[in-house]
Amino acid sequence: MHCIGVGKAFLISLLFATLSYAENGNSSPSTTGIAFDSNDTPSPTGGSFIPNPSGNWISPPYRWFFQYPLPIAPIHTPTLTWTDAASNAAIDFYEVEVKAFQKQIYPDLPATEMVGYNGLAPGPMFVMQQGREAVVRYTNNGPTNVSVHVHGQYDRAPFDGWAGDFALPGQYKDYYYPNAQNARTIWYHDHTEFHTGENAYKGQEGFYLLRDSHEQSLGLPSGDHDVTLMFGSKTYNQDGSLNYDTNNGIGLWGDVISVNAQPWPYFEVEPRKYRLRLLNGAISRTFSLSFVPDGPSGFGKDPIEFDVIGSDSGLLSHPVRTDGLAFSMGERYEIVIDFAGYEGQNITVHNVRGMGENIDYAATDFCMRFVVGYTVVDDSNNGDVPQELRYIPPPPDQSPSKEFAFTRTDDGEWVINGVGWSDIENRILTRPERGDDEIWTLTNGGGNGTHPVHIHLVDFQVLSRTGGRNEVLPYESAGEKDVVWLAGGETVQVVARYAPWPGVYMFHCHNLVHEDNDMLVAFNVSQLAEWGYSEDTQFIDPMTPEFRPKDVNPDDYTTAAIMAKLAWFYSTNAYNRGNVEGVYSELEAYSAGNYGQESSTSSSQTFSNTATPTTPTTLMTFVSSTTTPPESVLSATTPAPYTTSLTILPPPPPTTTTTTALDNYKSTSPQTTAYRGWQRPPTRNQRRNFNNR
């Protein structure tokens, strides 16, 4: 199959055919599917391209390409700060209201109804400094249930956005965040069971940046030259409302590409270096981006080379030079790109067609445009990118390995080792010992899925990829991540240290349609009771009653009540007084067998989890009890209302032994599907062929 130069109709049908790509045993990356649309034409206005206006749409055709500026989310500011008199430690308090709002997407249609953080899409941007804790109060004044996950931070389990821990309309929840990790581009989004996709799609997504002094000393582009870009892809109805059609639980690829919630925006830049923080915030669409200067005749110029400097968990060890970058849902990459030399030109961000299981539409091969000015107004932090960015320890030589298969049942339920979220008794698939390194082997077992796998709590390293692309991409291996793209036919190995906290955390597919249709399970990091943790230690159960959402009560919103609550959070010592490094060294000492020896007195002091938190009397009403809460993660929150066309699996046959991940793996029969979909960015020759056509 050679798509270059073929007609549009055939191309569209071919791309639809990717839904049933199993028969075609083509397993090597090839030019298949790389199809710059032959109908894309130079605009009459001197070289800039406009997408082919006659292509296939589901939404009302969008005609305002690159006519509206890129919106940038406002930086959120705290309303109060509490400081501990003894240690001077501070906790900043932020408030966010989840509410319905309207956004004008189509200039000629009614405004689109959305629901988002402070009525904004993307939500307000958090910019946090390492070492300064925060509490964020989310008040749900919207029509949906709300659970907020900060994706990329090791929050204690009750503050991690557990899917069953949602606030009903009229409730609020306070999330206590450590902000203790290295600098990273992370994000916050809804995680409500069975509704994550729709809630994120309708607006509940925003950036959460963590800064640290090391990163700030590197001279990377900053201020106006440090820009967040959230890629999305949606579909609209004729009346301008959002259309959430999941194709029977397979995916919602969308035909209207947006960046920061604006379809095909433009962004004016100076001819200098920029740091761009890219987030794939789409529900199901993967992207493969390149930055192409518009030329007078077709795709006349090679894409611009740039440096990838960061990924999900912060800076890479060194910059990775590339002219194209592919990323799946939930992944983040940071790049430094230099617009010097492109004065007065337009640079369009192209997206490769035919990626993975994407379905492409008229203009899904374009995302946004940079309009390069003639003068550099601010030349600060415009130097070379340092060749050493951050120390990243080599992965461990050997670790226990666990296997997880991502499959779809005949009933259309997406599952991991045969288990989905609705299977409440079995959905804790594995119990890593706290502090241990474990290799997880993730296998795409077919069923037409591309699965970005997100593991909460940990940063991992990608060790290998077999099948499919058959390689770990250089920008995947040079850093640490929390999402890995498991495309059709692939098996990927990742290694992580299951630390620093014990407790129950989720892992899942970040195609949010799959997640909501049950590809969401959990792991329980063991408590290491020998350390002197009593069973009433808080924070291991994400549904601990003390931390659950409460009905909105004006008394809880007074300055005095908030200050008392911040003091109470501090007294829980959720984050070891900010000394998380101390937690890691304790864990290392423990796994090296040193625990209980001479040094244990001092180490248990640094690590002491000061018993029961002291509770200010004014807050007695919301602290239900200091006794052990029931294991409420095991209790049903809602019945499983995932897509009605699906049926829930019958309960698994009774087992006498504890089901291990491996047993579950064996009990399913993962199909292997011939890999077909992933595409590299076009090579120079392919682009030349296109241009010479």
Between strands 273-280 and 226-234, the pairing is parallel
Distance CA 184, CA 163 (A): 24
Residue 230: strand, helix, or coil: strand
In the three-class reduction of DSSP (H, G, I as helix; E, B as strand; rest coil), residue 513 is classed as helix
User: Which residues from 197-226 bind ligand NAG, rule CB under 6 A?
Assistant: none
Region class of 530: left (phi > 0), else alpha (psi between -120 and 50), else beta: alpha
Q: Does 46 bind ligand NAG (CB under 6 A)?
A: yes
Residues 427-446 that bind ligand NAG (CB under 6 A): 428, 446
Q: CB of residue 77 vs ligand NAG: minimum separation in angstroms?
A: 30
Rule CB under 6 A: say whether 526 interacts with ligand NAG.
yes
538 binds ligand NAG (CB under 6 A): no
**Contact set for ligand NAG, span 352-391 (CB under 6 A):** 369, 371
Instruction: Tell me the number of residues near ligand NAG by CB under 6 A.
Output: 32
Tell me which stretch binds ligand NAG (CB under 6 A): 46-54, 69-77, 375-383, 561-569: 46-54
Q: What is the per-residue binding string for ligand NAG in 61-90, x denoting contact by CB under 6 A?
A: -----x------------------------
Burial (CB count within 10 angstroms: exposed 0-12, middle 13-18, buried 19+), residue 510 = buried
Cα 456 → chain centroid: 10
**Residue 217 in tokens:** 């000393």
> What does the per-residue mask of binding to ligand NAG show for 655-674, with x meaning CB under 6 A?
----------------x-x-
Q: Which stretch binds ligand NAG (CB under 6 A): 199-207, 281-289, 382-390, 633-641?
A: 633-641
Question: CA–CA separation, 194 vs 291, rounded Å?
Answer: 36
Query: Cβ(547)–Cβ(162) under 8 Å?
Result: no
The 3-state secondary structure of 29-59, one letter per residue = CCCCCCCCCCCCEECCCCCCEECCCCCCCCC
527 is an interface residue for ligand NAG by CB under 6 A: yes
> Residue 186 half-sphere exposure, CB side, CA atoms within 13 Å?
30
Options 85-93, 353-361, 547-555, 631-639: segment touching ligand NAG (CB under 6 A): 631-639
Shortest Å, Cβ 250 to ligand NAG = 8
584 SS3 class: helix
Q: Quote the least distance from Cβ 199 to ligand NAG, whole Å.
A: 9
* Six token digits for residue 499: 């630390």
42, 47, 53, 78: residue in contact with ligand NAG (rule CB under 6 A) = 47
Interactions with ligand NAG, residue window 452-491 (CB under 6 A)? none
Which one of 15-23, 295-303, 374-382, 677-685 is the stretch in contact with ligand NAG (CB under 6 A)? 15-23
Is 4 or 22 the residue whose CB approaches ligand NAG more closely? 22
**Stretch 253-272 residues interacting with ligand NAG (CB under 6 A):** 266
Q: Report yes or no: 38 and 690 within 8 Å, Cβ to Cβ.
A: no
CA distance 212 to 570: 22
CA distances to 3, 124, 206, 234 from 72, in Å: 37, 9, 11, 19
CA 159 to CA 179: how far, in whole Å?
Answer: 13
Q: Are 117 and 150 in contact (CB under 8 A)?
A: no
For position 346 contacting ligand NAG by CB under 6 A, the verdict is: yes
In angstroms, give the least distance from the CB of 584 to ligand NAG: 18
- Binding window for ligand NAG (CB under 6 A); candidates: 44-52, 230-238, 311-319, 409-417: 44-52
Binding site for ligand NAG (CB under 6 A): 19-20, 22, 45-48, 66, 144-145, 168, 266, 346, 369, 371, 428, 446-448, 502, 504, 524, 526-527, 540, 631, 633-634, 637-638, 671, 673
